Amino acid sequence: MTLLLRGGRLVDPQIGRDGVADVLIKDGRVAEVGEGLTAPSRAESMDCSGMVVVPGLVDVHVHLREPGREDEETVVTGTRAAAHGGFTAVAAMPNTEPVCDTGSKVRFVRERAEDEGIVRVHVVGSCTAGQAGEALAEIGDMIAEGAVAFSDDGRDVQDAGMMRLVMDYARAFETTVIAHCEEESLVGNGVVNEGEVSTRMGLPGWPAAGEDIMVERNIRLAELTGCRTHLAHVSTAGSVALVRGAKARGLPVTAEVTPHHLFLTEDDVAVYDTNLKMNPPLRTAEDAAALLEGLLDGTIDCVATDHAPHAAHEKELEFEVAPFGTTGLETALPLVITRLVSPGTLDWAGVVRVLAMAPRECLRLDRVALEEGSPADISVIDPEAEVEITCGYFESRSSNSAFLGQTLHGAAREIVVSGRLALRDGEVVAR
């Protein structure tokens, strides 16, 4: 397939590019970038004037739910949602049923994605067998089958000695451990941030210290073992300060923040709306401000959604009983544009940094740039498109979004994945 993207504003700070140009895509790669390119015969030519054209966005924290909860999401529906949200690649977390903790399970997800996925799927394997925190999972075997990182996401490895073992072993394979930072003896059955809101609503509190302590522990273990460590969904001002300190010491630590922790606070949980129940919970306005500051100064490397689809009948349970999580793939980019780009808080180069470059660097994925020879993973963004977040908006099989009812602007119009047009005029292109 040959494709010419004409007249878009190309933004790629990796190569210092920000200006109108054309991109010619051939055989899955960028063949040429320049002004006034002509489409070869039989090439599809798309007018991208008014659009922002960037290296394909990557979400390093997604729950695809397959295998086990195909009623909530599958590799197909999850990657459709990713495409709809402007992402050309996702990293799939291993807390499926069964847990993705062996090479053959990694292969299953990878093959499902290769056969039917709309965007690229990078598989994250578990750190410990069954995510039970008790014995090493077959990390080497999983790497041999294509796993890119390891995590017990959904929970943390509680025992520090066990986490050390994971990190020491992972280092042999030069891979990355993704840590979900939660000290369970402090968090207990907490469901909302401990403080004003937990008191007012009579809900069990999840204290910020329950995250901070594990962020610090995991940073110390990264220091001890030298293992590359990525901190998932940091949610507290304390975590930001700890990560800042770790980076100043030159430790191999990276971190992500979710859109919901950036753009919502505990005060939004005023009614018992289970779409606002997530783990870690929504924090205070001060925490959200610290997260944004950390994202802007580079302490926090990237935005990742923790896309967590859940069946409606499970989210409709009592707040204390309902599962944690919000979907995120299809709202992240509109939120970043509406809440950060429009007010001038973040420029387009910054968007590329936090949604395309840094995610790849955190997991050491292949570089993608708007230059000749690069893999042709490209997102074409319409910064003016109006997006109403309703249940009908989603490609995801689930619609448990914390942002339902909001009207945002800015959305992906096209995405190209390995040279294939996977989203066209806002519609997912089936394979």
Partner 1 sequence: MSGLSCEHIISVSDMSTEDIGMVLDTAESFKEVNERTIKKLPTLRGRTIINLFLEPSTRTRTSFEIAAKRLSADAVNMTGSASATVKGESLRDTAKTLSAMSCDLIVVRHRCAGAADYLAECMDAHVINGGDGMHEHPTQALLDLFTMRRALGRLEGLTVGIVGDIAHSRVAGSLVRALRLVGARPVVIAPPTLLPARPDVLGAEVSYTLDDVLPDLDVAYMLRVQMERAEGMPFPSLREYARFYGMNGARLASARPEMVVMHPGPMNRGVEISADVADSDRSIILDQVNAGVAVRMAAMYLLLGGVDSDAAA
- Compare residues 272 and 393 and give the one whose CB is closer to partner 1: 272
Active site residues: 306
- Compare residues 49 and 318 and give the one whose CB is closer to partner 1: 318
- Compare residues 205 and 328 and give the one whose CB is closer to partner 1: 205
Residue pair 284/39 in contact (Cβ under 8 Å)? The answer is no
- Compare residues 116 and 320 and give the one whose CB is closer to partner 1: 320
CB 406, min distance to partner 1, A? 20
CB 199, min distance to partner 1, A? 4
- Compare residues 319 and 324 and give the one whose CB is closer to partner 1: 319
CB 188, min distance to partner 1, A? 7
CB atoms within 10 A of CB 129: 15
CB 249, min distance to partner 1, A? 32
Residue pair 224/236 in contact (Cβ under 8 Å)? The answer is no
Interacting residues with partner 1 (CB under 8 A):
188, 194-196, 198-205, 207, 271-272, 313, 316-321
CB 284, min distance to partner 1, A? 11
Token pair 């004003």: residue: 196
